[in-house]
């Protein structure tokens, strides 16, 4: 099966964040033909969501930085992790030839999607996502990371929105003041880990990007059954 082959644009908008709707002829499990659609945002560049942490009042109770944003698509303000789509300057190698299919990406097998959960030191998707996360953190909150690493990655929606997103962990020096911001978010605020868990349970943090990245960050603290 050629997962990413044969898609062609049916609609495109480039006023602001580039958005493209593509379609390709496919057959279901019974051999019936249909037209499969997928959404491509930011020309298929990997996005990033940032788990920014700093030491809390106790060393074992880190604080997490959330931003409050007005999301017109859902018609309300939400507390979220800083995040954003990739930009061309986040690319590892600007001289590298463009992928014929930016969603699928390049890899040893041209018909196999690149793994979004990989080592940023050796994988162009992870490295670009790491750069995007550091850039988004600075733009939205004014903070720069004292240390950063790739927590992992995920696909937004494997059916119709296959954008790869990297979850980036950034450790913030609590003694440093934030710099200028781009005004994209309404507010940024530090919350304790317990407060964030409570916000997840209450639905105050409800977007899939934040929930996915916070799960990757919290996983080591979740006890496993033997």
Contact 20, 11 (CB under 8 A): yes
Of residues 34 and 106, the one with the higher pLDDT is 34
Residue 56 CA to residue 201 CA, distance in Å, equals 21
The band of 66, judged by pLDDT with boundaries at 50, 70 and 90, is very high
What value does the mean pLDDT take over residues 185-192?
A: 94
Q: What residues does each domain of the chain span? A: 44-105+115-221
Backbone φ/ψ region at 162: left (φ over 0), alpha (ψ -120 to 50), beta: alpha
Considering the four listed CATH numbers 3.30.70.260, 3.90.79.10, 1.10.3720.10, 1.20.1250.20, the one that applies to the domain covering 44-105+115-221 is: 3.90.79.10
Q: What is the pLDDT of residue 123?
A: 61
Q: What is the pLDDT of residue 15?
A: 87
Check whether 104 has a pLDDT greater than 70.
no
Residue 71 CA to residue 130 CA, distance in Å, equals 24
Q: What is the pLDDT of residue 106?
A: 39
Q: Helices 193-202 and 208-218, interaxial angle, to 10°?
A: 140
3-state secondary structure of 36: strand
Residue 13 CA to residue 27 CA, distance in Å, equals 28
**φ, ψ dihedrals at 47, nearest 5°:** -90, 180
């Amino acid at each position: 099966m050629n997962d990413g082959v044969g898609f062609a644009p049916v609609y495109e908008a480039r006023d602001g964040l580039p958005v493209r709707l593509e379609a390709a002829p496919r057959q279901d499990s019974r051999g019936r033909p249909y037209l499969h659609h997928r959404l491509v945002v930011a020309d298929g560049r990997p996005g990033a969501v940032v788990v920014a942490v700093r030491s809390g009042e106790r060393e074992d109770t880190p604080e997490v930085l959330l931003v409050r944003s007005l999301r017109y698509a859902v018609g309300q303000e939400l507390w979220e992790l800083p995040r954003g789509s990739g930009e061309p300057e986040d690319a590892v190698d600007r001289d590298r030839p463009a992928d014929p299919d930016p969603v699928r990406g390049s890899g040893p097998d041209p018909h196999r999607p690149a793994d979004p959960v990989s080592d940023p030191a050796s994988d162009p998707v992870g490295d670009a996502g790491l750069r995007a996360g550091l850039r988004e953190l600075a733009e939205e909150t004014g903070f720069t990371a004292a240390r950063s690493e790739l927590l992992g990655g995920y696909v937004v929606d494997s059916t119709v929105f296959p954008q790869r997103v990297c979850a980036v962990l950034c450790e913030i020096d609590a003694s440093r003041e934030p710099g200028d911001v781009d005004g994209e978010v309404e507010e940024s605020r530090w919350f304790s880990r317990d407060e964030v868990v409570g916000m997840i349970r209450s639905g105050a943090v409800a977007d899939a990007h934040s929930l996915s990245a916070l799960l990757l960050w919290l996983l080591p603290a979740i006890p496993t059954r033997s």
